[in-house]
Homo-oligomer: A and B are copies of this chain.
């Protein structure tokens, strides 16, 4: 069988998803053929160029028409978060499997509606998946597996951060990611979402309460003239930054452990430093996205004089996803997670199982972020995360 895919949106995430769709069937043995059928965007010229450049058979400008087509099986949604709910729900209701880029939505209400739609679709064999691709970096999957095997025992604390510095320059203009109406939130929703999801994923425990602070370090920025690449050119005017630059919060996991979270775009010199360290009573595991082929493991059950953090190069055939790629010691990069995401989605569709992260998991991340905002508005007092 062949899965015909429509991708809606074509920004930076569209490029990454395109690599995933292109590479997955060539590098892995997939149980279904994949066809990159249509890419959809509002600007006809731009979307046609994207189609041509990234290898999509067709370009279209109306997502509703595309969703209505019989010859589309999968909708891959890479637009900004404010449009996710409407499109994803429509696609699911139209019987299309949906891969939705994170964050699931810009509000808990939207995310709830999406999770409900996904649940409804599920009963008809339609799959929904959220694009937290970092789960599928081999070292992160291995980290999760080792916790699940009990290698570090009971989780006693977690330290997670996602640090970037692209806003340190005050002349970076006011792109959509800095406007609440488009992005929902700033560092919190964009990169804080990743560390909340990763923490819940690797520990297998939801965050049940939070205490947090959010902050906008640079409050006025030049407005955007022409949009270019990740940001755009600046005009002479300025406007208010309406999202946070920085969020620091503490979480309580369901099993009782405390987690320190930090999401920032002001960590000078840190480009994409998603770091997580999980400390258990038998060991610890640490990961850094800037060295994504490495996982560090501390084994408290090893002989005393030999204990230390072991840097595992996660490039062996026996490591998750790696056998399909290169020999040991040959590095993987950022976009490989997108390929693995496609692999798992296609397999789940074929097998009739639910690919993770589900929309319910995406919703749970949104609820944690909403609780952080509520806490921040209440002097950072501890705030319960809404129950599922």
Question: Which residues in A have some Cβ–Cβ distance to B below 8 Å?
Answer: 12, 15-16, 18-19, 22-23, 26-27, 29, 53-55, 142, 146, 152, 156-157, 159, 161, 164-166, 168, 170, 211, 213, 215, 217, 230, 246, 248, 250, 258, 260, 262, 264, 266-273, 277, 279-281, 283-284, 289-293, 297-300, 302, 304-313, 315-316, 318-319, 326-336, 378-382
Contact = CB atoms under 8 A, between A and B. Distances in A.
Contact of A258 (B248, B292, B328, B336): B248
Contact of A279 (B267, B306, B379): B267
B277 A260 contact: no
A271 B18 contact: no
A270 B264 CA distance: 24
Contact of A382 (B246, B300, B379): B379
A211 B247 CA distance: 13
Contacts of A313: 271, 290, 308
A354 B303 CA distance: 31
Contacts of A273: 329
Contact of A331 (B12, B165, B290, B311): B290
A64 B157 CA distance: 45
Contact of A26 (B54, B284, B381): B54
A312 B306 contact: yes
Nearest to A380: B211
A260 B279 contact: no
B269 A309 contact: yes
Nearest to A297: B306
B22 A329 contact: no
B272 A330 contact: yes
A58 B293 CA distance: 35
